[in-house]
Every structure is written in C-alpha cells, then in structure tokens.
Structure 1
Amino acid sequence: MTETNFSVQGYNLVKLLKRLEDATARLEDVTIYQEGYIQSKFALEKDGKTDVVAGSKPSSGSVSSNASGVTTGNTAGPAGEAVSSSKPAGEANKEENEAVKEFKIFIEQNVDPLVKLSAEIDPTVQKTVEYLSNAFKAQLDFIKAAVQSKKPDFASPAFIEGLTPINENIFSIGELKEENRNSKYFPHLNAISEGSPLFSWIAGPTPVSTITDFKDAAQFWTNRILKEFRSTDPKSVEWVQLFLTLFDNLKAYVKEYHTTGVAWNDASGEDFQTVLNKVSNESSGASAAPSDTTGTPTPGGPPPPPPPPPPSVFESGEQSKQQESGGIGAVFAELNKGENITKSLKKVEKSQQTHKNPDLRVSGTVSDKAAPPPKPKKPSTLKTKKPPRKELSGNKWFIENYEDETEPLVIETKIDESVFIGKCVNTLIQIKGKVNAVTVNETERCSLVLDSSICGVDVIKCFRFGIQVEQSLPQITIDQSDSGSIYLSKDSLQAQIFTSSSTGININTPTGPDGDFVEVPLPEQLIHTFVEGKLQTKIYEHAG
C-alpha cells in the first residue's frame, strides 16, 4: 500500500501522525519542567515552615523574590531571627495587610495634599476637606477591622457602629455647606458635599460604579469652579485637579483589593464587633504611643469573644426556661392533648372577675408577662439624609429633600425657567409667576400651588399629592403615582390630563353652584375588546 493511499480530502495521514508525535514530545517536555518547578517550590515552602517553627518572626521588610517569581523569606529580622512569608496560613493576612497599607498610602498621597491646598484657598474649604479627611481615616479603621473579620449582617449594631464615624463627618460636610451659602467658595463646598457619599462603596456589591456615580455628581460643581476661578485663582484650578484625581485613585484601589465589595475574611476571621473594638482602641491610643509597624503578631492569639448579653430584667427564670424548651414540637405536643389541654387552667373566682367586681377595673391590674421587645428598625446603613436644597442653577430651580416644613416654600419664577421638585415629604411649594415647566418626582404628602405653566406639570412616582392651578396650563402628566387631588381653575378646564400606572386620582373643577368644586375621579378600569381584528378600549362603568 503506497503513502498516497493514506490521504483523506487533501491531508496526508502520515504527515499528520508525525506532527502529532512532535506535539506529544513537546507536551512531555513541558510536563517534566512543571513537575520540577513544583517540587522546587514545595521544597522552598517546607524550608520556610521549618524556619517559622524554629521560632522566627515574620517581618514585612525581609522578603525576597527569586527568578521564577516564588516569594521566599531568607533574611533575618532585628533579633537575627529567620523570616518566612511563604507560609500558606499567613497568605491571607499578607493580602489584608497590603490592602490596609495601600489605603494608608492613598490617604497620604491624595487626601493630605488636598487638605494642605485647601488651607491656602479658604478656611471654610479647609474645614470641609478636614471632615472629608476624617471620614477617610474612619474608613481606614473600618477596612482594618473588615480584613480581620467575618462578614457581619448589615443590619447588626456592630456594622452600624463601624459606619457611624463616617456618617458623622458626611453630615458635618452638609451642615457646613448650608451654613456658608453666601460664601465665595460655595461651589467648592458643594463639590465636596455632592461627592462625599462615595464612602457608600463599602456597603454595595459594585463599589467601582458607586464611586463613578458620585464623581459625576461632584463634577457638575467642579466645572463651575473652573468656569468662575480659571482666570482669577490658579489654586482653585489645581484644587479641582486634586479633588477629581482622588476619585480616580480610589477607584483604582477598590478595583484592586475590593472588586465586589469589602474583602471580608470569612475563612478565618473573628467576630466583627470584637475586631472593631480592638481597632478603635488602637486608633485612640495611637496619639499617646507610637504604633508597632513591624507586623509582629501579639503572643497568645486573639482575645476571646465577648460573653452573651444577660437576660432581660423583666423576664423571670421560669419564662426563660419555657422559651428554651419551646419550639414547634412543644406546640404540637400541646395540641395533641385534646380535652386535657384545659386541665392546667386555674379556675377564676368571682372576686377576680372584672365584670362582677368593678373595683378591679379601676385598679388596672398589670399582667406579669413581659411585653415583647420592639422589633428593631432596619438601619439605612450608608444611605445618608441629604440636606434640603432650594437654589437656581442656570435657568432651573431645584427644590429637594425638604421634610415637614411648617411654612410654604415660595419661589418667584420667570417665563424661561423650569422647576424640579424631588424627594420632599409633607411640604407645600408655591410657584409665583409664569414658569416654563414643572416636574414633581418621588414626593410624599406634598402640595403644589402654581400660577401658570407653558408646558405643564409632570408628576412621577408621587404618593398623596395635591396640585392647585390658579390660572392656566396646557396639560398634566401623571405616571406611577397614587392618591392625588388636582384642583383646576376656570381658565385651566381645557387642560389635558395623561395618566399611566396611577390610581386614586381625583380632578376637582369649579363647576358647582356658586363656583364650588366638584370632584371627578379618573377612570381606572378599562375594557379591551377586539372588533373586526382591531383593539377597542372603553371605560368600565358601574351601573348603580
């Protein structure tokens, strides 16, 4: 049989077999090389473990690396002790320490220069940036505790305690901004205030996008700084560059060490509350005594977890035992008793019956049973309460975050201006003058009184709202809203009202006797039918 007989569709099988043999030989060479590399690596790790057992202490300054990229510890510490960083059990701690170390470097290279430059611009700007710096230092303590702890419940008191110092500084930034609205450097304060919620990256699964969102919010004000101070104050231009670089470098750090949220140590970490207390004590004592930067672990291991809380003083010992021995099994056991379930009940004497002894009703006897403790409210973690805002930006009014205002918020508008009302609660807003357009978004129990509008009013995701039109407007659009009342004037009866995904909307028109308002509910039930292949929709009417 000739060699050509082994050809299939233009391929020579003999040549293919030779090429397969060559490829197999190369794979064998690679396998032999990898086996030798792995054996040498295990030998190095074994030597490192021997050094640690012999009494060596790890040191962050005595780590070397060989040509193949295997990290080994072959130098001595201050006391001549051998050092090894190849110990598998310490690998996680090394990563944790590196994350903390890099965050310290981030603060030194990005936050501290911003504080120094702010002092040269204005004392108020300096104080605001100092609050920002304190929030970063509080977040450093949080990260220190997190990398040594198991992930806690975000509704737990320990987690809230860890976030409290950060939130306090964020609130201080907002308060300082509101107190200095007439300041020349108000855009600087606004930029910091809009960007300060970036600390919420530690509570979300996508921290990088969170930082990007708040950078975009702050950039609106940094652009205004560049516009107003570019030719008059070069330091403000440099300040903007430092401030925006802070966001970019923080994103790079988070992307490297906390890609999907804070890097908790679920494998071998301690209780978060215990570690947080330890870190807080170390931070408070850092100013009194220099901290040890050698990374030497404390002898004796970590302290034991705190004891469980004592039982409530309002509960008796018998009740505690009953609760411990209870459960679903005890419930079914009681139900299975049948008629015998009432044998344990005490007979109520006539002297103890309130309907036959009126004196007992006056005395108001209190049961021995302790009332169940109130359910704790779910905390808002890092969802900060933004300060109220009422300002004109360009030709657009912003009215946001007002709650329980006793006096109406009155604004004078021009024909080319628009108004945005968002996230207000229990507030009355009055718009005087003819306005271009009005948007009401995510409000609750809010009322709007306006003279007239060119484009109309848009109501989006509002609950229990009220709108009163004094003059005229072309249309009102209502989307995803509930329980609203709209009062039209005689001049606005021709207005068009568009609704979608809304319920409980009532229109009041001055068509009654003596100009009284007549309430007309908007239809919510519709009938859809196909007539000759075409969809027809009619309002469903209840015949009473």
Structure 2
Amino acid sequence: MQAFLAPVSELMGKIGEVEGKYRGKDHVNHLKTVSEGVQALGWVCVEPTPAPFVKETIGSSEFWSNKILKDYKGKDEGHINWVKGFNGFLKALVPYIQANHTTGLAWNTLGGRTVAAAAPVVQSAGGAQKAFEDLIEEFINPFVQHSDKIGGDVAAQAKLFKEAVVKSAQLIGTASKTKKPSEDAMQAFLAPVSELMGKIGEVEGKYRGKDHVNHLKTVSEGVQALGWVCVEPTPAPFVKETIGSSEFWSNKILSAYKGKDETHVSWVQAFNGFLKALPPYIVSYHTTGLTWSK
C-alpha cells in the first residue's frame, strides 16, 4: 500500500509546498483553493465514508474560491472559469465515489478474498499507544475542561472529539499487536473513529447560532487530522495540511477573545497544541503509516 499511494501522496505534499512558499498577494486565494481542495484525493484511504470526507474538503476549498469569484466576477472571466473548472471536479467526485466506491476504494478480489496490503515499516513502535495517551492527558483533557466552561454545542462536540481520540489510541494499541488486515477488515477496524469524525462534523453543520461558530469550525476542520491512521506514506505532512484549515477558524477566536476571556484563548491553545504535537509523534512512531505488528 505504501508504494501504491506514494505517487499521489508526494504530489499532494508538493502542492501544499507551493502555497506555503508563496509570498505574493495576487494569487494567494487560488493557491489556497487548490491546496485545500487537493485533500479530497485522500478519499482513497478513507473508510467507510469517503464521500462525506470529500464533502468536508469541498467546503474548505470553496471558502477561498468564493473570494476569487468576488474579486473577479464581471472583470475577468478567466478566473471565474478557473473556479468553475476546479470546483466542478471536486463536486463531481462525490457522486462518482458514491456510485463506485461507496464504503472505500474498491479493490479486485482473488478467490473471493480481498488482496491484503503490505505493512509499512517503522523502526520503532514501542510505547506508541502510551505516547499518544500522554498527548490526551496534556492537551485533550484541558481542552474538554475549557469546553465545559463554554458549554452548549462546544462542550458536546469536545466530548465527541475526546472519544474519537481515545478510540484512536486504542486503535494504535491494537495495530501494534496485530498484522495489518485486509482492506475489508480495515473498514471495520477504522469505523469507530470514522463514525465519530462524522458526528463531530454534524454538530457544526446543524449549529444555527453565532457565538460559537468559529469554535465548532475549528474542531470540525481539525478532526480531519485523525485520518492520518490511513494515510501512507506521508501521514505527518497530511496532518500539517489539516492544521492550517483549523487554525483559520481558531485565529478568529483569538482575535475575538484575547484580553477579554482567557477561557477561549486557553481552549484554542489546548486544541492547537494537540494538533501541532501530532506530526512529531507520528514521525517518531508511524513515519510512513500506522505501525502494525510484523
């Protein structure tokens, strides 16, 4: 699987690098549109809900493409057509996936058995679960406490996020003791976390208030980072990409509450702290993908 996904994963990383290194002003929205939208190609390793995963990334990409439409509508149709072409592809992905890869990338079978993927190789997996649980203790527990003070949907979403992270820790522990399963079995293996990721997005999607929309957006974008468990061979760069989308919303919270209500500032620091701690953790224990027993 590592070699199978490598060409696309490497190009996704390079696309993000182009946007990250850009220092101009004229085309920042174009580059953001593509660097956010390219995450949709990660559907090939998302189970059991690849189509909803793509829908989530479309929203992040359209935030930037809408700025292009606003700037160029009635002035330069070249940019308008650029947006239509890119957005058209992203939106067409969803029905395509629903029709051909409903619960995940469809694999050919031999003798009624799905061909198993090769396990990624990582030098050391010792203590991987414990190290991940330490991140929960350091960042997620305070995050939930701050969320409880804010209350409402923020608190409810935070509890779902902690549950997803705890299940991720359990998943890491199980993987370290078992051989990598077939693609069919992988679906059931990832289901508990995938389902919670969906519920977290639903909390944000159903919210009709104004006070905490940025909090809910921060988490619904940030939870995509937990998808690293099915990304090979570059899970750490994948997480770094999702951090930018989440920070866009958390920066709005800092702007609104800094010097006024430190609970919200601490909330951001705890959540962002967890996301930023993930890449070095992954590099240490799961360099090219979730580590399985040999």
TM class by smaller structure: 0.5 to 0.7
TM-score, length-normalised on structure 1? Answer: 0.31
Give the distance between the partners of 1:208 and 1:110, measured in 2 at CA.
Answer: 18
How many residue pairs align between the two structures? 172
**1:159-216, CA deviations, whole angstroms, 9 ceiling, x for partnerless residues?**
1111111111111111111222314111000000011111111111211101101100
Partner amino acid, structure 2, of 1:100: Q
Structure 2 residue matching 1:102: 3-state secondary structure: helix
CA apart distance, 1:240: 1.1
Q: Is it true that 1:167 corresponds to 2:194 in the alignment?
A: yes
Structure 1 residue matching 2:127: 3-state secondary structure: helix
Give the % identical residues: 31
| Contact kept? 1:187, 1:221, Cα under 8 Å | yes
Structure 1 residue matching 2:130: 3-state secondary structure: helix
Give the distance between the partners of 2:135 and 2:209, measured in 1 at CA.
Answer: 33
Q: Is it true that 1:135 corresponds to 2:159 in the alignment?
A: no
CA apart distance, 1:252: 1.7
Number of the residue aligned with 1:150: 179
Partner amino acid, structure 1, of 2:186: F
Give the distance between the partners of 2:155 and 2:209, measured in 1 at CA.
Answer: 17
Give the distance between the partners of 1:126 and 1:232, measured in 2 at CA.
Answer: 20
Q: Is it true that 1:259 corresponds to 2:287 in the alignment?
A: yes
Q: Is it true that 1:208 corresponds to 2:236 in the alignment?
A: yes
Partner amino acid, structure 2, of 1:250: L
Give the distance between the partners of 2:200 and 2:237, measured in 1 at CA.
Answer: 23
**1:53-99, CA deviations, whole angstroms, 9 ceiling, x for partnerless residues?**
xxxxxxxxxxxxxxxxxxxxxxxxxxxxxxxxxxxxxxxxxx54511
Any stretches of 5+ residues in structure 1 without a counterpart? 1-94, 267-544
Give the distance between the partners of 2:241 and 2:140, measured in 1 at CA.
Answer: 20
Equivalent positions of 1:171-320 (< 5 A) are 171-204=198-231, 205-266=233-294
Number of the residue aligned with 2:19: none
Any stretches of 5+ residues in structure 2 without a counterpart? 1-123
- Which structure's relative contact order is higher, taking Cα pairs within 8 Å and 6+ residues apart? 2
Number of the residue aligned with 1:99: 128
Equivalent positions of 1:294-443 (< 5 A) are none
**1:396-450, CA deviations, whole angstroms, 9 ceiling, x for partnerless residues?**
xxxxxxxxxxxxxxxxxxxxxxxxxxxxxxxxxxxxxxxxxxxxxxxxxxxxxxx
Structure 2 residue matching 1:221: 3-state secondary structure: helix
Number of the residue aligned with 1:110: 139
Partner amino acid, structure 2, of 1:264: W
Give the distance between the partners of 1:234 and 1:109, measured in 2 at CA.
Answer: 18
Give the distance between the partners of 1:146 and 1:121, measured in 2 at CA.
Answer: 36
| Contact kept? 1:198, 1:210, Cα under 8 Å | yes
Give the distance between the partners of 1:119 and 1:256, measured in 2 at CA.
Answer: 32
Give the distance between the partners of 1:183 and 1:133, measured in 2 at CA.
Answer: 24
Number of the residue aligned with 1:122: 151
Partner amino acid, structure 2, of 1:236: H
- Whichever of the two has the greater Rg, that structure is 1
| Contact kept? 1:96, 1:148, Cα under 8 Å | no
**1:29-66, CA deviations, whole angstroms, 9 ceiling, x for partnerless residues?**
xxxxxxxxxxxxxxxxxxxxxxxxxxxxxxxxxxxxxx
| Contact kept? 2:125, 2:286, Cα under 8 Å | no
Which structure's residues are more often strand, by fraction? 1
Partner amino acid, structure 1, of 2:214: P
TM-score, length-normalised on structure 2? Answer: 0.56
The root-mean-square deviation of aligned C-alpha atoms, in Å, is 1.9
